[in-house]
């Protein structure tokens, strides 16, 4: 067991460092949105039209879809820690190809290949990091720490955008190659830093390495004390759950279709689908197109408007991180999707123009920008963090790696489709595009009301009791205290009377 015990003892460090993997996704979003109006980029890649630009942007989520599917095997074979390190290495390769240190090879083909390879890294890390976080963090703050995945994405978007803008004043291809090359630095930090972090104790127990798992749990939650009540409780719950799941049958994709699991797979995939259909990532990718269509012109004006949106995205994610375990996942999803639908509807209404580009209507331009900001804030404080937290905690151990990867693959599948389809949509149906996404958000809100139970402040094993209540289409009937157990109840359930007596005597 090669890890630093002082790092393991700090839940915020051990629970958030791997989120750099999420930041890589944010870097990629701005690496494209920041160059769409860059003359050097347009000249180098032969002024790509709406369809060609959509294909270039979609190359990354296409690779992410592949990576999210590959992680099922990699994550269960190598473990969570080594898989994150592997993802960081793959990202460095992809970023190197995009920046293309040999400028004579810089063309669309090289750019697309680099984005696909970088996308594979993002797909792997976006699936494995929330699983790793959920398996090593205390239940009381698990949602908060997993939500840092979304916060790191927002930081990646904002920082890369400012780097892109600063470099845009450089003449020639260096204006976009330098920012693309700098993307390697966070991945290098992640890959090297993870060497000092512990492996997931749940994965170790599943591999029969129980003493290693117990020691890591003690270092994570008990100050190194293996007899700490929380440590013993979690260790016994994990062992009990793993033993039960081993008896259920072999690990395979067929397990995803078993009763009790299929429902959760549908929920996880649906949440990731709705997260993309909300239109948020489209706004991040193509914010320049949107504001230009709204009548905002000039480099400085675009910088201010775009940067404000990215800053708001970072700031409004903070309350969600801090209160996600208090507010709960369920109401954040319901209210977030509802308000996003409202602001998109208003946005489409004020943009009711016979042509896409609005000219000499400053009031309409300002209204569109305000609606854009409100939409982004609504996503950042609700759906953003929950979309990563919820799928990472609802699946049984035996299928968690595969199920989370399938849910994440759903995210990338819709990300790929929208990244490619939206530029032509903005060119053809213009402001009506917003009403399409508004309808998706209202549909999502209804789905959340009826089908998504609350999972906040429960251990991953206690969540099994939540889904055992059924209520497939009446999720609101499941109370917040369902599944909660103490150490005595867990040991009594196991039938371990001797351990119970020993604990009582202690």
pLDDT greater at residue 101 or residue 446: 446
pLDDT greater at residue 266 or residue 98: 266
Q: How far apart are CA 277 and CA 257, in angstroms?
A: 25
Query: Residue 505 has what pLDDT?
Result: 37
Mean pLDDT check: name the lowest of 100-114, 147-161, 167-181, 399-413.
Answer: 100-114
Q: What letter would DSSP give residue 170?
A: S
Helices (H), 168-298: 174-182, 184-193, 201-206, 210-221, 229-248, 262-277, 280-285, 287-293
Q: How far apart are CA 116 and CA 30, in angstroms?
A: 16
Query: Residue 105 has what pLDDT?
Result: 58
Mean pLDDT check: name the lowest of 80-84, 89-93, 107-111.
Answer: 107-111
SS in 3 state form for 102-119? CHHHCCHHHHHHHHHHHH
Query: Residue 484 has what pLDDT?
Result: 67
Query: Residue 359 has what pLDDT?
Result: 62
Structure tokens belonging to residue 461? 């094993």
pLDDT digits (tens, 9 = 90+) for 65-83: 999 888 878 888 899 999 9
> Does residue 502 register a pLDDT over 50?
no
Query: Residue 501 has what pLDDT?
Result: 44
pLDDT digits (tens, 9 = 90+) for 371-382: 889 999 999 999
Q: What letter would DSSP give residue 200?
A: P
Q: How far apart are CA 399 and CA 474, in angstroms?
A: 25
Mean pLDDT of 439-452: 96
> For the whole model, what pTM was predicted?
0.79
> Does residue 357 register a pLDDT over 60?
no
Structure tokens belonging to residue 182? 């700098």
Q: Are 157 and 313 in contact (CB under 8 A)?
A: yes
pLDDT greater at residue 79 or residue 502: 79
Q: How far apart are CA 391 and CA 181, in angstroms?
A: 32
pLDDT digits (tens, 9 = 90+) for 186-224: 999 999 999 999 999 989 998 889 999 999 999 988 888
Q: How far apart are CA 421 and CA 428, in angstroms?
A: 11
Report the percentage of the chain scoring pLDDT > 90. Answer: 30
Label residue 35 exposed, middle or buried (CB < 10 Å: 0-12, 13-18, 19+): buried
pLDDT greater at residue 482 or residue 220: 220
Nearest to 191 by CA among 297, 77, 93: 93
Query: Residue 106 has what pLDDT?
Result: 64
> Does residue 112 register a pLDDT over 80?
yes
Nearest to 458 by CA among 427, 440, 482: 482
Query: Residue 237 has what pLDDT?
Result: 84
Radius of gyration of the chain (CA): 23
The number of residues making up the chain comes to 506
Confidence of residue 184 (pLDDT cuts 50, 70, 90): very high
Q: How far apart are CA 93 and CA 469, in angstroms?
A: 47
> Does residue 6 register a pLDDT over 70?
yes
> Does residue 42 register a pLDDT over 50?
yes
Cα 191 to Cα 65, 98, 500: the distances in Å are: 21, 20, 42
Query: Residue 351 has what pLDDT?
Result: 52
Query: Residue 53 has what pLDDT?
Result: 85
Query: Residue 250 has what pLDDT?
Result: 44
Q: How far apart are CA 94 and CA 123, in angstroms?
A: 13
Mean pLDDT of 127-152: 84
SS in 3 state form for 158-170? HHHHHHHHHHCCC
- CB within 8 Å of 378: residues ≥ 6 apart: 336, 339, 340, 343
pLDDT digits (tens, 9 = 90+) for 217-261: 999 888 888 888 888 888 888 888 788 777 764 467 788 888 889
Label residue 302 exposed, middle or buried (CB < 10 Å: 0-12, 13-18, 19+): middle
Mean pLDDT of 440-456: 95
- CB within 8 Å of 158: residues ≥ 6 apart: 26, 30, 307, 310, 311, 313, 314
Structure tokens belonging to residue 375? 């939409």
Query: Residue 315 has what pLDDT?
Result: 94
> Does residue 123 register a pLDDT over 80?
yes
Confidence of residue 503 (pLDDT cuts 50, 70, 90): very low
pLDDT digits (tens, 9 = 90+) for 20-40: 988 998 888 888 877 877 888
Which of 26-30, 82-86, 155-159 has the highest mean predicted lDDT (pLDDT)? Answer: 82-86
SS in 3 state form for 287-333? HHHHHHHCCCCCHHHHHHHHHHHHHHHHHCHHHHHHHHHHHCHHHHH
Confidence of residue 46 (pLDDT cuts 50, 70, 90): confident
- CB within 8 Å of 501: residues ≥ 6 apart: none
């Amino acid at each position: 067991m090669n890890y630093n015990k002082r790092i393991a003892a700090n839940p915020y460090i051990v629970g958030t460092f791997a989120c750099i993997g999420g930041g890589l996704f944010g870097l990629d979003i701005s690496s494209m949105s920041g160059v769409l109006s860059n003359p050097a980029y347009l000249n180098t890649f032969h002024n790509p039209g709406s369809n060609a630009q959509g294909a270039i942007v979609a190359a990354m989520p296409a690779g992410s879809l592949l990576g999210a599917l590959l992680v099922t095997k990699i994550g269960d074979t190598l473990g969570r820690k080594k898989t994150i390190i592997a993802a960081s290495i793959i990202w460095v390769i992809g970023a190197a190809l995009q920046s293309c240190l040999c400028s004579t090879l810089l063309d669309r083909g090289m750019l697309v290949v680099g984005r696909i390879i970088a996308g594979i890294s993002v797909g792997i890390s976006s699936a494995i990091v929330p699983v790793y976080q959920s398996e090593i963090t205390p239940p009381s703050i698990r949602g908060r720490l997993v939500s840092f995945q979304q916060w790191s994405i927002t930081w990646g978007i904002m920082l890369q955008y400012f780097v892109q803008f600063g470099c845009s004043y450089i003449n020639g291809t260096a204006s976009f190659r330098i920012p693309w090359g700098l993307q390697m630095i966070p991945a290098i930090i992640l890959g090297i830093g993870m060497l000092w972090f512990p492996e997931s104790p749940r994965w170790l127990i599943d591999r029969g390495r129980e003493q290693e798992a117990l020691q890591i749990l003690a270092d994570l939650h008990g100050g190194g004390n293996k007899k700490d009540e929380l440590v013993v409780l979690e260790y016994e719950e994990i062992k009990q759950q793993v033993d039960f799941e081993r008896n259920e049958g072999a690990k395979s994709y067929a397990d995803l279709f078993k009763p009790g699991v299929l429902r959760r797979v549908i929920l996880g995939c649906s949440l990731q689908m709705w997260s993309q259909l909300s239109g948020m990532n489209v706004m991040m990718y193509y914010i320049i197109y949107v504001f230009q269509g709204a009548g905002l012109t000039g480099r400085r004006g675009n910088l201010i408007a775009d940067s404000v949106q990215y800053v708001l995205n970072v700031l409004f994610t903070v309350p969600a991180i801090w209160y996600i375990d208090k507010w709960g996942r369920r109401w954040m999803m319901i209210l977030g999707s509802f308000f996003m639908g409202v602001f998109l509807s208003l946005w489409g209404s004020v943009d009711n123009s016979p042509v896409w580009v609005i000219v000499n209507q400053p009031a309409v331009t300002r209204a569109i920008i305000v609606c854009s900001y409100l939409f982004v804030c609504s996503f950042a404080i609700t759906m953003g963090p929950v979309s990563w937290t919820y799928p990472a905690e609802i699946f049984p151990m035996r299928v968690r790696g595969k199920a989370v990867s399938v849910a994440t693959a759903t995210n990338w599948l819709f990300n790929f489709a929208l990244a490619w389809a939206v530029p032509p949509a903005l060119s053809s149906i213009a402001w009506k595009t917003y009403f399409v996404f508004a309808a998706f958000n209202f549909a999502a809100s209804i789905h959340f009301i009826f089908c998504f139970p609350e999972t906040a402040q429960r251990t991953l094993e206690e969540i099994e009791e939540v889904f055992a209540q059924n209520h497939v289409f009446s999720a609101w009937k499941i109370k917040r205290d369902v599944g909660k157990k103490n150490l005595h109840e867990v040991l009594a359930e196991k039938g371990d009377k001797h351990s119970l007596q020993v604990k009582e005597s202690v």
